[in-house]
Chains A and B, each alone.
Chain A
């Protein structure tokens, strides 16, 4: 179905913006609400679920090489249960992609295109991503490789320019109320880390499959490092006001005044946001399209990219009447939903697969042993 191949480096560069893009903008404020001045630690705690998710995806792929979760779940627990699990995954990915598109558009409309109808922003992004997905995984991988400088360099420039405004003392007191607040704050970023399970849709198409695990783990680490740095910068600039901002990193960028000359740096944030959201939506969209085609046992996923695009736009609107709804969902439901679908379910599958494989092996060894005697 997918004839393209990607390298594991491309996979890493597809996953990195996928997690970071939306996690650096709004999440610091949510984390700060729970963890106060310790919110920079939360991504470190949360990253463990990321490592676990990558580990599960790679292990499962080793047991069933060349297949995605939609395919091997049917082999692990039978056709019908497998179909149900596949459906859970697909409905999860369609809905999450819709919400990401909505989140992307909310920010754009909130701060830049104030008078533009949100549907235009959403539809144009989905259209663009649909073209990329239609073009295949190879195009997406190369695009991610091409765009990674556009994603990283503005971040680095931002951190350099904001340096004079950093008030390092804001980090104190460290752990004033024990480890519980930052642990609770890590629940929400944890939801973002579970998105690493997307790796299971990319692993079958790697040229260098052996490096999959290493690059996956390295990506988790890179994401963690980025989030910690972003959170620290936000903390050093905004201090106790962080939790009252909707997009703290935006406030940080706006606060920059370097040598009275470098001011009004919002466009950098916009570049990061648009490029990151583009890669993120494309990767999710790709997983959705490929998974749906495999679930329906079609010969090609390309034709259904378009109707899925319509689905994505529709779920971006469905029962979310305002941006506050979206934020509440992202805090109250998404982290748990994401963890259940993308970490617990694969864990269960892996356990079942390992047990049944052992049984099979035992039987095989029993049967092969028998004639020997």
Chain B
């Protein structure tokens, strides 16, 4: 009996010893569990939705950030969605100056009671003034810092970028969202931070960024209720802005970059009264570089399909002959747009299409030899544009609307 009891106590002792050491170990791990140093609470963060970088006249950098106000969204429980009452802005804009971007940011942090968080910033706007003097130095911050996303879109604004952030568009919650949505519609170029980095380090050393400005508010709207919109393209040589392209030329660039999605081509068939509008549904663009006997040439092959969305002529498009006329006009029009853009780009020597890259990929040796001379080669390059166009669909009516049967051509 006694012996047995002794054995039990020994075992108990061992058990107790073990459990104490386990508890001690568990206690030791507690300080590491919370991740104290990097604890981030969402209500300690100022979430940046858009940022703009401008250059002041005295050479200092002005950083403006558009910060999301969480209170503005959470208020509407029963009202259904965010309440946008008088002065109920969902964002606020703060700005500060410094000798470079990070200094401006550290000063700006002093004005915002929460820690600035870049992870959700989807829009970076460079002011025109800064763009003209070079963006590379400030870009370094955006690519080096772990928070800003490579996926964020980059823009150049006419005038100061801060004005874009300050506008309070009526339709969307904040202006950063407006620009981002417009980019998603492929109305202008869409360039991410990564694309910008790639263009700057790539062979052609030329950059194209979407150029935005504010559409002034209509009558009766509040002063700040302008909407920013993309109205062209800013052209860069290396990291300095050298010129712009109009909206029309930008569309040609979109054709060349195979990024045509959501707008309409309106054309006037030769010798026929009225206009036809076509919506390009799909397009395939191939850029084929050639070097023949030391001549650098490029052939652009476009294969596009469209749908008729308005027919203001008297042509009956169900008849093959009329359809041919419309298709040919469509083809001519696309070619004309592409030629217009090429004319502009070759005139300035801005290879924003990335032809240098295409040549490098196909003829690495020849390109490496001629690399220093690339701008001249590009300016003098012969470009063949070859468009094949098809109209595939005609919509819900098969004859021009509201036209008596006998007036329709080629019944």
Q: Is the CB of B146 within 8 A of A114?
A: yes
Residues in chain A near residue B37, CB distance under 8 A: 113, 115-117, 120
Interface flags for A156-168 (1: CB within 8 Å of B; 0: not) read 0000000000000
Residues in chain A near residue B201, CB distance under 8 A: 240-241, 244
Q: Does A367 belong to the interface (CB within 8 Å)?
A: no
The CA-CA distance from A240 to B204 in the complex, in Å, is 12
Chain B interface: which of A15-23, A169-177, A341-349? A169-177
Q: Does A257 belong to the interface (CB within 8 Å)?
A: yes
Given A116-B38, A264-B119: A173 in contact with B364 (beta carbons within 8 A)? yes
Q: Is the CB of A115 within 8 A of B146?
A: no
The CA-CA distance from A177 to B368 in the complex, in Å, is 10
Shortest CB distance A244–B (Å): 7
The CA-CA distance from A257 to B364 in the complex, in Å, is 32
Q: Is the CB of B150 within 8 A of A255?
A: yes
Residues in chain B near residue A99, CB distance under 8 A: none
Interface flags for B82-97 (1: CB within 8 Å of A; 0: not) read 0000000000000000
Q: Is the CB of B361 within 8 A of A173?
A: yes
Q: Is the CB of B146 within 8 A of A173?
A: no
Q: Does A110 belong to the interface (CB within 8 Å)?
A: yes
Given A112-B38, A113-B37, A257-B151: A241 in contact with B194 (beta carbons within 8 A)? yes
Given A169-B361, A173-B364, A244-B201: A120 in contact with B32 (beta carbons within 8 A)? yes
Given A241-B198, A241-B201: A172 in contact with B361 (beta carbons within 8 A)? yes
The CA-CA distance from A255 to B152 in the complex, in Å, is 9
Interface flags for B346-389 (1: CB within 8 Å of A; 0: not) read 00000000000000111011001000000000000000000000
Q: Is the CB of B149 within 8 A of A173?
A: no
Residues in chain B near residue A239, CB distance under 8 A: 198, 202
Q: Is the CB of A116 within 8 A of B35?
A: yes
Q: Is the CB of B194 within 8 A of A255?
A: yes
Q: Is the CB of B150 within 8 A of A172?
A: no
Look across to chain B and name the residue whose beta carbon is closest to the beta carbon of A177.
B364
Residues in chain B near residue A255, CB distance under 8 A: 150-151, 194
Q: Count the A-B residue pairs with Cβ separation under 8 angstroms: how many? A: 54
**Which chain B residues in 187-220 approach chain A with CB under 8 Å?**
194, 197-198, 201-203
Look across to chain B and name the residue whose beta carbon is closest to the beta carbon of A263.
B151
The CA-CA distance from A116 to B360 in the complex, in Å, is 45
Q: Is the CB of A176 within 8 A of B151?
A: no
The CA-CA distance from A111 to B146 in the complex, in Å, is 6
Interface flags for A102-118 (1: CB within 8 Å of B; 0: not) read 00000000111111110
Interface flags for A11-31 (1: CB within 8 Å of B; 0: not) read 000000000000000000000
Q: Is the CB of B202 within 8 A of A240?
A: yes
Look across to chain B and name the residue whose beta carbon is closest to the beta carbon of A239.
B198
**Which chain A residues in 227-241 approach chain B with CB under 8 Å?**
238-241
The CA-CA distance from A110 to B368 in the complex, in Å, is 37
Given A172-B362, A173-B360, A173-B361: A114 in contact with B202 (beta carbons within 8 A)? no
**Could you say which interface size class chain A belongs to?**
20 to 34
Residues in chain B near residue A264, CB distance under 8 A: 119, 149
Q: Does A251 belong to the interface (CB within 8 Å)?
A: yes
Q: Is the CB of B38 within 8 A of A113?
A: yes
The CA-CA distance from A257 to B198 in the complex, in Å, is 18
Look across to chain A and name the residue whose beta carbon is closest to the beta carbon of B32.
A124
Shortest CB distance A309–B (Å): 15
The CA-CA distance from A112 to B40 in the complex, in Å, is 11
Given A113-B35, A115-B37, A117-B37: A176 in contact with B364 (beta carbons within 8 A)? yes
Residues in chain A near residue B365, CB distance under 8 A: 176
The CA-CA distance from A120 to B32 in the complex, in Å, is 8
The CA-CA distance from A124 to B364 in the complex, in Å, is 50
Q: Which of B32, B35, B194 contacts A238 (CB 8 A)?
A: B194
Residues in chain A near residue B360, CB distance under 8 A: 173
Interface flags for A239-261 (1: CB within 8 Å of B; 0: not) read 11100100000010011010000
Residues in chain A near residue B364, CB distance under 8 A: 173, 176-177
The CB with the most chain B CB atoms within 10 A, among A238, A244, A254, A264, is that of A254
The CA-CA distance from A115 to B37 in the complex, in Å, is 6
Residues in chain B near residue A172, CB distance under 8 A: 361-362
Residues in chain A near residue B150, CB distance under 8 A: 251, 254-255
Shortest CB distance A154–B (Å): 19
Residues in chain B near residue A176, CB distance under 8 A: 364-365, 368
The CA-CA distance from A115 to B99 in the complex, in Å, is 26
**Which chain B residues in 27-42 approach chain A with CB under 8 Å?**
32, 35, 37-38
Residues in chain A near residue B35, CB distance under 8 A: 113, 116
Q: Is the CB of B151 within 8 A of A254?
A: yes
Shortest CB distance B399–A (Å): 40
Residues in chain B near residue A240, CB distance under 8 A: 198, 201-203
Residues in chain A near residue B151, CB distance under 8 A: 254-255, 257, 263
Residues in chain B near residue A116, CB distance under 8 A: 35, 37-38
Residues in chain A near residue B197, CB distance under 8 A: 241, 244
The CA-CA distance from A155 to B197 in the complex, in Å, is 25
The CA-CA distance from A216 to B146 in the complex, in Å, is 38
Q: Which 10 A-B pairs have the closest CB atoms?
A: A176-B364, A172-B361, A173-B364, A116-B37, A115-B37, A113-B38, A111-B146, A115-B38, A241-B197, A255-B150
5 A-B interface contacts by CB (under 8 A) = A111-B146, A124-B32, A176-B365, A238-B194, A257-B151
Known: A117-B37, A169-B361, A241-B198. 8 other contacts (CB 8 A): A113-B38, A114-B38, A173-B361, A173-B362, A173-B364, A176-B365, A244-B197, A255-B151
